[in-house]
Structure 1
């Protein structure tokens, strides 16, 4: 089995896998997946420890990478013992009986754990809060629609109106701003 590697972007690497039947398959994989697959040009059988020593990939990332290659829908690697979990004593071989009807195949990595996602959500809440406070500090008084519009223009990550509304309510509760006495649709900055 030989792999031919072509870089197209920083996130995705394309590897051409030459099958026993001489069918060429194009795999869209991450850099870590490519590093692991390229090891099988020199070796038929590798342990988890061997792969980690040769690639220097962090253990958590290596587990995700091997899980995507050996336990996902598209299994380019065979794993012994067969299970969904990756352990330090597992051994891996190239799946020489791999067959797929598509020529271009994307191999996804498992999602990061929920704690990382929760941290990102919390960080974004802080960023939304900071943007709202900055806007209100400079404008002093602003309507709901104008505030939401300015928050969207300042922040560069995908965001829903519902999230902005909850962050506005949070800032109202914490008394960073208040509703106007004359019109509930207008906010005033509290110094």
Structure 2
């Protein structure tokens, strides 16, 4: 196996491991930039893995549609299938990794190594988006003299300023929690 393909497989495995161990709070305002970077890493790694296949497809590209209409149609169909498979690989790997991470979070939070605690909504705000504003609330809780803060979606004004929220958090991973209200 070529070095580029080995590196690509290693990068894909590392992305899966990073998402598995650190992707458990995606619904609580985790870094979107991090997830975009991981998606790009997956995409580039899959491109490198499938480059030989794409080179074969490009090699069949006739220059003229008029002279070789069936070859051009075949080229377009193969290129489209390649791109769709690539998109499928990237997103399925990403979503499966997030699912595994969520299963890990549920297993940990359903174990006996958890504690219930009260969190506090310390701020409500709106984040400007292209098509409007997204209402959010900031949840804060303290464990072992360390503050943890998370952004919660606040669509129906469910959370109010200074509202107490009941949480269950992991003793091993203090930033892993579930709202239990």
Structure number having the greater helix percentage = 2
TM-score by length of 1: 0.26
TM-score by length of 2: 0.27
Q: Which has the larger radius of gyration?
A: 1
